[in-house]
Amino acid sequence: MSPTLPIAAGQATLTSQSAQSSSGRLLALDLFRGATIAGMILVNNPGDEQTAYWPLKHANWNGWTPTDLVFPFFLFIVGVSLAFSFSSRLRRGETRAQLLSHVLRRGLILFALGVFLNGFPDQYHTGTWRFYGVLQRIAICYVVSAVLVLWSDRRGWIITIVASLVGYWLLMRFVPVPGFGVPTRDIPLLDPDRNLAAWLDRTIPFGHLYEGTRDPEGVLSTIPAIATSLLGVLTGEWLRSERSARAKALGLAIFGVAGLAVGKFFDIWFPINKKLWTSSFVIFTAGMALVCLAVCYWVLDVKRWRAGWAMPFRVFGMNAIAAYVFAEIISHWIEHMYVHLANGRSLTWQEMIYQRVFAGLVSPPNLSLIYALVYVLICWVAMWMLYRKGIFLKI
């Protein structure tokens, strides 16, 4: 696993006078990445999804919660990192062909790793094996965005973003859904099962769907997800510019607030929906990501407040993919391996830990939160051991 991979982005450097760490890394991006990874681990492991506080749950359908921000933040960071990594490597003399070879290899490994995690530890048979997933979507968006960064320019990126968002809206709004009819005329717009994206997920034989009749990382919704990473690329180019650090932070904040406003405005016609990755969702979450990155940049690169408080997030940020994979492997293991009790009952390790160690300590929502925080801490300790030894795993 590589810090030069989209999420780890260890080669991210600045060409202007804004502040950097001694290694040349963009500290604000490390902080933002680390906080995003911590958030992803937190919301993916609530202990009991039914009793968890609402910010730690996905929105049921339209609308959003803080949990729905984590994955788009991840993809946004992919794009920001690409802008830094490629520019640095091209300056060192690497050719576009060499970079493309690296991109394809990393994308393939990342996709395969996602498919592996979906089946781990014991579900590698076609009936239950899911081929869509978080790492798979990251891999696709990474490869497509990388190709555009290497062989296009800012104008091409903007055209692709607009085409992706407008094109996806046109498909979901006007194209008849086979067997159901035209959205808004025969069926409600974005009906959970009677929409074009869900129909395509069921039609293409790509294994088990996460929600049975549809998949939140399905084929069609990957189109607007590419726009999320390209918006990150544009942000990376802004941060690489020769503007002052204060101007960069102000620009991030202004564009962020504009994105939030535009996303909410288009929510009227094309609702914000994470599971369908709607165009309004892309714009709104990119706006939120810009605001968060502006805060990180202001604190670390403008005000230079670099006390030890940021270190825990850097631990995750420096080994982002490793942290995610470690968390997923442990989670899948304890959720699928059973303990057979003396009374004849069988519990998964996750159920046994939750019931025997945590149950009864506090109210159910607080119990779920404590479990999630302890899980994040365990993953952080594992990454801290790597961080302390200077080990940053590469793909």
- Which value, in Å, is the radius of gyration of the alpha carbons in the chain? 21
Q: With left for phi above 0 and alpha for psi between -120 and 50, is residue 374 left, alpha or beta? A: alpha
Q: What are the structure tokens assigned to 36, written together?
A: 């995003």
Coil vs helix vs strand at 273:
strand
Share of residues in the chain with pLDDT > 70 (%): 92
Q: Higher model confidence: residue 153 or residue 205?
A: 153
At residue 275, the pLDDT reads 96
Average pLDDT, the chain: 88
Q: What is the mean pLDDT of residues 101-130?
A: 87
- Answer whether 7's CB lies under 8 Å from 78's CB: yes
3-state SS of the chain: helix, strand, coil percent to 5?
60, 5, 35
At residue 128, the pLDDT reads 73
In one-letter notation, the amino acid at residue 153 is: D
Q: What are the structure tokens assigned to 95, written together?
A: 């050719």
| Least confident window among 5-19, 33-47, 172-186, 338-352 | 5-19
What is the per-residue pLDDT across 52-83, written as a single tens digit (0 to 9) for each? 899 999 999 999 999 999 999 999 999 999 99
In this prediction, residue 35 has a pLDDT band, given cuts at 50, 70 and 90, of very high
User: Helices (DSSP H) in 270-388: which residue ranges?
Assistant: 279-297, 311-318, 320-336, 349-353, 364-388
What is the per-residue pLDDT across 206-259, written as a single tens digit (0 to 9) for each? 778 888 899 999 999 999 999 999 999 999 999 999 999 999 999 999 999 999
What is the per-residue pLDDT across 278-319, written as a single tens digit (0 to 9) for each? 999 999 999 999 999 999 999 988 888 876 788 899 999 999
Q: What are the structure tokens assigned to 123, written together?
A: 């579900």
Q: Give, in degrees to the nearest 5, the angle at Cα 132 between 391 and 173.
A: 130
- Cα(83)–Cα(6) distance, rounded to whole angstroms? 10
| Least confident window among 91-95, 173-177, 250-254 | 91-95
